[in-house]
A and B are shown apart, each in its own frame.
Chain A
Amino acid sequence: MHFACRLATLLVVGLAPVNSWAGEPLPRSVLIFDQSEPNSPWGSVFRAAFRSSLSAASAEPIAVYVETLDLGRFKGPQYEEPLRTFLREKYRGKPIGVIVPLGSAALKLLLRLRGELWSGVPVIFAAVDEAAATQSILPPEVTGSILRLPLRNAVVAARSLVPGLKRIALVGAPFERQPYFSHFKQELQDFRGDLEFVDLLGLPMEELRARVAALPDDAAIFYTAIYVDGAGITYVPREALRTVAEAANQPIVINAEPQIGYGGTGGFLAVADPVGQDAARRASRILKGERASDIPITMGDFARPVFDWRQLQRFGIDEKRLPRGSEIRFRPPSMWEQYRTPVMTALAVVLLQSAMIAWLLFERNRRRVAELESRRRLMEIAHMNRSATAGALSASIAHELNQPLGAILSNTEAAEMLLAQDPPSIDVVKEILADVRNADLRAGEIISRLRGLLTRAEFNLQNMDLNEAIHSVVQILGAEAKERSVVLTADQGQRALLVRGEPVHVQQVLLNLAMNGMDAMLNCVPGNRRLAFETALNGESEVEVSVTDTGTGIPKDKLKSIFDPFVTTKQKGMGLGLSIVRTIVETYGGRIWAENRIGGGAVFRFTLPLAKARPA
């Protein structure tokens, strides 16, 4: 019988290309013959993977029909007979190119129906257990992949979940009633030496829950599937898993993808994706003209190590112990995963801002350093300018100094003579001594003024008396003015006029302006050389100082530029004095400008901010 069948198969296989569909293309349609119920996750994933892989492999559209048969709950001739009639009527006029039975029960049913309904249509089975695919002789034009789920996978997973694993509690329907796990009975023998298997198969739920709640620490639970418990109550396997897991005190190893997330800790799960892809590849080849019989039947575990993060947490299992390449599901997405874009954006903004702030700080620092440097240089130049002024004034200052020195000498010589007289004129000598002291003090003052001119001074905001500065400038210039026949006047109030600034620098401003004015009067008639300092309050906040001369005035085109460096109206001028003056005035928060006087001569005016705490 067997031999005859094989012979027939060979004959059919051999003849088929000749008489069956030689040159006649298969209808471009596929029927998925799914043994599970319509909502089965595994079936859904399989179908989705199959459809997408198939359409990706084919340029033309292929119709895919699906029959979800729910064979777990509906079986027997009373179901099969109406089904047969139903399918025959349903697919009348809908030629099918390839039929894909999903699951062992579906394959078996299909093989029973094929002869009548879809004679000779190629079959690609998927997720079929080894026994179903090998125990009976397959008819021709049948190919597919065998799903083998070895017990070893479960043991490996259990060992990774429970360190020092000694026993595995087996939970589920008895193995002989589960086609996919029927081979476990033999495999169990392989591990008997190392592990103890606690048989909790087929127990009523209540008892089962009590047993799994009292397992020792070195035990793991291996859950296959419960459809009906020992008390005869029907379950959806994954709901049964949830009930068991609630009570379990040890991790539960599972081996089907739909069960993840229902209380199972994880394990090597048979995943539907690659199974669907494999079936689609085969379908595509057949639709392109290959013979189904020419495509070998293969066997694979299609299993991936997948674990439930929540269960790992529950049992305190370190992820590092899990098999290499394990996928962790249900991990709450980290802040980073959940808000990647906003976090990145915020981070980028913060980074950008920080960079900007850093840059601005850097620039600010550079600016500060540059300002300090420029100020230092200015003070240096101002000091050089003062030294030069001191040099220019040295002749007249020496003259001025000789005045008290001469008086002292003549007075002492007169005193000597008066003391030599008989009787000596003591009263006159007393007067002489007083005069000598005064002259000496005057000489000391002249020297200290000269020294003041040579002092180094830094930028310094302090309250200073502007009138005193004018007074000291008049003193310093007195001798020089006399020599040049210039009449110096300073209109000064009695009150101190407090401004903010460094006395040395303010004095320098006045001195430079005065020297300029005196230079401008070199060619005037001696009787008409007048230089005047005047001050006037300019509102509440500043004071305006004017330095007026009766000299030649300033050429109109130079009124503005005269404060620029190296601009001069003098024959021998460097053009630095006024630029230093302007820089100093502006450094202390004032303004400076020049005007020509009606009737000849020039007026230089500058302002300085008044000190706030002005004495009333």
Chain B
Amino acid sequence: MTLVAPVIHVVDDDASFRTAIARLLRASGYQVALYESGDDLLQNPSSAEPGCILLDLRMPGLGGLELQDRLAKIGHTLPIVFLTGHGDIPASVRAIKGGAEDFLAKPVSKKTLLDAVERALQRSEKAREHRERIGALRTLVATLTPREREVFALVVRGKLNKQIAYELGTSERTVKAHRHSIMQKLQARSLAEAVSIAERLGISAAPSGSENT
């Protein structure tokens, strides 16, 4: 779907391990970026590209779990595969809850590693697609006039035309015209589709028509 090859970001403080993993991934045909610490990664953001992060759980300074938190806070969306020499249950639970793609133990076999990386990349791809779809919908919604947005917000909440007209202080006929325009602009063939769009963009719950994602 994309022309850009996925990049695997390896974050590990152990140079020899870092190098070994990089060799394996490169031999398997991936592009690899190496970081010796979490800070190193944060200073070189590349979340726009598809890929995933191979992250050591224990590192001096910023640990793997802390880095995961930081990335989530700044909206970094690359899936994370944790790699650890000694993973205990609390750490793994925390990692998975934080959205980790996988949790692998060192030493890791090629198959396990590549499978996990592949899964992460697929998810990354899906996420990218999802993001792109959402972006397209947002573009459509952006074409609505402010009045149409108000009407759209009320329509997806299941209000009748009469109610909408009353609420907006206009006639039922005008509301119908707005509805028709909205359905065309959003390329929605039915009310259900329009509601789905609103839900995906998080509009339905909002009392007003303002965006909030």
Q: Which residues on A are within 8 Å of B, measured CB to CB?
A: 395-396, 398-411, 413-415, 417-418, 421, 428, 432, 435, 438-439, 442, 481-483, 485, 487, 526-527
Contacts and interface: CB of A to CB of B under 8 A. Distances in A.
Interface string B167-202: 000000000000000000000000000000000000
Interface of B: 13-14, 16-17, 19-21, 23-24, 26-28, 58-61, 63, 66, 83-86, 105-110, 113
A413 B106 contact: no
A413 B58 CA distance: 24
Contact of B110 (A401, A403, A410, A439): A410
Candidate in B13, B21, B86 with the most chain A CB atoms within 10 angstroms = B86
Given A403-B16, A435-B16, 20 more contacts: A403-B85, A405-B107, A406-B83, A406-B106, A407-B107, A409-B20, A410-B23, A410-B24, A410-B107, A410-B113, A413-B24, A413-B109, A414-B27, A417-B27, A418-B23, A432-B20, A482-B60, A485-B63, A487-B60, A526-B63
A396 to B, nearest CB: 7
A97 B131 CA distance: 163
Contacts of A483: 58, 86
Contacts of A408: 20, 107
A403 B59 CA distance: 12
Given A409-B108, A410-B21, A410-B24, A399 B16 contact: no
B14 to A, nearest CB: 5
Nearest to B28: A417
A439 B16 contact: yes
A407 B20 CA distance: 5
Candidate in A410, A438, A439 with the most chain B CB atoms within 10 angstroms = A410
Given A396-B86, A399-B85, A417-B28, A411 B23 contact: yes
26 contacts: A398-B85, A399-B85, A402-B86, A402-B106, A403-B17, A405-B107, A406-B107, A407-B16, A408-B20, A408-B107, A409-B20, A410-B17, A410-B23, A410-B108, A410-B110, A411-B20, A414-B20, A414-B23, A414-B24, A418-B23, A432-B20, A482-B58, A482-B59, A483-B58, A485-B60, A526-B66
B57 to A, nearest CB: 9
B112 to A, nearest CB: 11
Nearest to A398: B86
Q: Can you list the 4 inter-chain pairs with the closest CB atoms, starting with the nearest?
A: A399-B86, A402-B85, A406-B106, A406-B107
A255 to B, nearest CB: 119
A405 to B, nearest CB: 5
A398 B88 CA distance: 12
Contacts of A406: 17, 20, 83, 85, 106-108
Contacts of B23: 410-411, 414-415, 418, 428, 432
A405 B14 CA distance: 12
Contacts of B17: 403-404, 406-407, 410
Contacts of B107: 402, 405-410
A419 B87 CA distance: 33
A520 B85 CA distance: 25
B29 to A, nearest CB: 10
Contacts of B109: 409, 413
A523 B208 CA distance: 46
Contacts of A409: 20, 107-109
Given A409-B109, A410-B107, A411-B20, A403 B14 contact: yes
Candidate in A395, A404, A432 with the most chain B CB atoms within 10 angstroms = A404
Nearest to B56: A403
